[in-house]
Structure 1
Amino acid sequence: MDQNLQGWFTERSPEWPGEAFSLKVKNKLLQKQSKFQNIEIFESTNHGKVLVLDGAIQFTERDEASYQEMITFLPLNAHPNPRKVLVVGGGDGGVVRELARHPAVEEVVQCEIDEEVIEACKTHVPSMGCGFSNPKLTLHTGDGAKFLEETQEKFDIIITDASDPVVLDGTDEGTKDGPAVSLFNNEYYTKMKNRLAEGGILCSQGENMWLDAEMVVTLVRGCRKVFPVVEYAYTCTPTYTAGQIGFILCATNPATNLKEPVREWDQRTAAEMGLKYYNANVHRAAFALPTFMLQHID
């Protein structure tokens, strides 16, 4: 991994061979090793502040809305009354920031494994870390899969905002399991189902269909053994590898149509809410998959 080579940060990994992505660094704000991962925050020349975990870009201020709004509002606006929400992961604060905008949400519980990511974003990226000031939020630090096993609470919505399951091991050639690896298997999805209230919906970071199609298909097929309704959606985030990231959505009610929002906001209302990316038409379009994915998933 070449980082800050001649004033540039370069994301390169054997997980996506033959390609790389670079951002010009204006100012380095933080670099430290937590108990779980390497944390880096820098200010770029054209994309605002950037969070990097174990060498992989998690967000840039310029395009983060395309991910944060979609992972939040796709499930929220497919549910008629999403009053209580659990967030697993989401240590940058973006999801809990978006949840504060939704008028139906009354209570938010979050479980993030790495409290140092939380503190780093609160300190250095207030545009994201402001989410932790949400008065509806109860924050826990610890393993999300274990939290699901131990809690007795039920939730209308569960959102898993996880980093990639496999990360760099510090070399250009090697990888290792990351702190989110336990959130990418069928056992975890079963744990989430057990904590969903009647009619509940979950949405999880679902990797990139150009790079991880096999993993996506495996997860979707596994979820279809547990949930009556399972869909894969995606959003376009230019600074993620291959410019795209997906979501796996599951519903416990067989009548739920995840592809059709149950509430819509006009342009003025969306602007007043502070939305930059999500709207009802984008919601619907997120489920329109290319042929190569349909051939595997359907």
Structure 2
Amino acid sequence: MDAFKEGWFTELSPMWEGQAFSMEVTSVLYQGQSKFQDVAVLDTKTYGKALALDGAIQCTEKDEFSYQEMMSFLPLTCHPNPKSVLIIGGGDGGVAREVSKFPTVEKIVQCEIDETVVEVSKKYLPFMAKGFESPKLTLNIGDGFKFMGEHEDEFDVIITDSSDPIGPAESLFGEKYYRLCDKALRPGGIICSQGENMWYHAPIIRSMMDFCKGIFPVVSYAYTCIPTYPGGQIGFLLCSKNEETKFEQPLRTFGEAELENFNLRYYTGEIHKSAFILPRFAVKALTGPVQ
């Protein structure tokens, strides 16, 4: 609660030192401590309802769709026929909401460690939590790392919608986790994970890309714009077991009528392609010679 001062919520973190992001709060809808973290839901003046975990903004009503849509449709459109999808994390329900829209997806399995996040999201963030209502979805409450180790050759796409690599999500950023993902994927399977910010976290991203290249034949990085995340940007780490995958060229595109029917407000085929075009500094930091 130290983040609340004089009607404002301020996000402070060692992961983005020397800076902060603040939102004017009209009311605190929920604040409590789960088994794993501090959970807060705020009603804000500019961004609508917002979810914060351990003082870090996870999503806001105004801009969440850019993250949820891109995290879901980037991998799904690059797989030739995704039927079975695993979501690790995603306790607000937003990724499940988007994945359930995809025409070929028949089964969605989700594992979220913090039941409190799920229940709070259902009560206060129904615009995202409606993803839990999908008949395609089976929700499991438990540790995603452990869950992954219990499944082999089962999923076409695995999406890791985690918080930052501190606290309960730390294990989801290591090489052991990605090796478990590899085993849990079917031949030709694809992974998409929350990939941090290229402005602040290039060493973390580079390390992850490097060890992933030792596991998967195709590894890439994309990003989306979202004003309430640090730097206004968040990235996605994508890996494929299919050496012919070209992430920047989706296998399936949607016309305007389909985009409207899916209620997609950010993702398009053009946005997909552009998401993989990185500024020169990022290309050098993530794929160039190690400095």
Is 1:259–2:258 an aligned residue pair? no
Map Cα deviations across residues 108-160 of structure 1 (whole Å, 9 max, x no partner): 00000001100000011100111110100011111111011112451000000
Give the structure 1 partner of residue 83 of structure 2. Answer: 83
Distance 2:213 2:174 in 1: 13
Q: Secondary structure at the match of 2:168?
A: coil
Give the structure 2 partner of residue 12 of structure 1. Answer: 12
Q: Secondary structure at the match of 1:18?
A: coil
Distance 2:45 2:256 in 1: 30
Distance 2:195 2:93 in 1: 19
The code of the aligned residue for 2:138 comes to: T
Give the structure 2 partner of residue 286 of structure 1. Answer: 275
Give the structure 2 partner of residue 207 of structure 1. Answer: 196
Map Cα deviations across residues 230-256 of structure 1 (whole Å, 9 max, x no partner): 001111111001111101000001011
Structure 2 length-normalised TM: 0.97
Is 1:187–2:176 an aligned residue pair? yes
Number of residues paired by the alignment? 287
Distance 1:260 1:137 in 2: 28
Map Cα deviations across residues 87-111 of structure 1 (whole Å, 9 max, x no partner): 0000010000001111111000000
Unaligned runs of 5+ in 1: 167-177
Distance 1:19 1:82 in 2: 40
Distance 2:231 2:73 in 1: 23
Stretch of structure 1 that moved more, 12-21 or 210-219: 12-21
Give the structure 1 partner of residue 107 of structure 2. Answer: 107
Question: Of residues 249, 271, 279 in structure 1, which corresponds to 2:238?
Answer: 249
Between the two proteins, what is the percent identity of the paired residues? Answer: 52
Q: Is the 8 A contact 2:163 2:169 kept in 1?
A: yes
Q: Secondary structure at the match of 1:287?
A: coil
Give the structure 2 partner of residue 30 of structure 1. Answer: 30
Give the structure 2 partner of residue 276 of structure 1. Answer: 265
Q: Is the 8 A contact 1:95 1:131 kept in 2?
A: yes
Distance 2:99 2:242 in 1: 22
Give the RMSD, CA atoms, in angstroms: 1.0
The code of the aligned residue for 1:257 comes to: K
Q: How many angstroms does 1:2 deviate by?
A: 4.3
Q: Secondary structure at the match of 1:91?
A: coil
The code of the aligned residue for 1:269 comes to: E
Distance 1:136 1:198 in 2: 22
Stretch of structure 1 that moved more, 285-294 or 110-119: 285-294
The code of the aligned residue for 1:295 comes to: K
Distance 1:85 1:157 in 2: 5
Give the structure 2 partner of residue 150 of structure 1. Answer: 150
Map Cα deviations across residues 22-81 of structure 1 (whole Å, 9 max, x no partner): 111112100000000000001111111000000000000100011000000000000110
Q: Is the 8 A contact 2:153 2:183 kept in 1?
A: no
Distance 1:81 1:152 in 2: 19
Stretch of structure 1 that moved more, 123-132 or 264-273: 264-273
The code of the aligned residue for 1:87 comes to: I
Distance 2:83 2:95 in 1: 15
Unaligned runs of 5+ in 2: none
Give the structure 1 partner of residue 116 of structure 2. Answer: 116
Moved over 2 A (4+): 1-4
Give the structure 2 partner of residue 97 of structure 1. Answer: 97
Question: Of residues 232, 235, 239 in structure 1, which corresponds to 2:224?
Answer: 235
Q: Is the 8 A contact 2:212 2:239 kept in 1?
A: yes
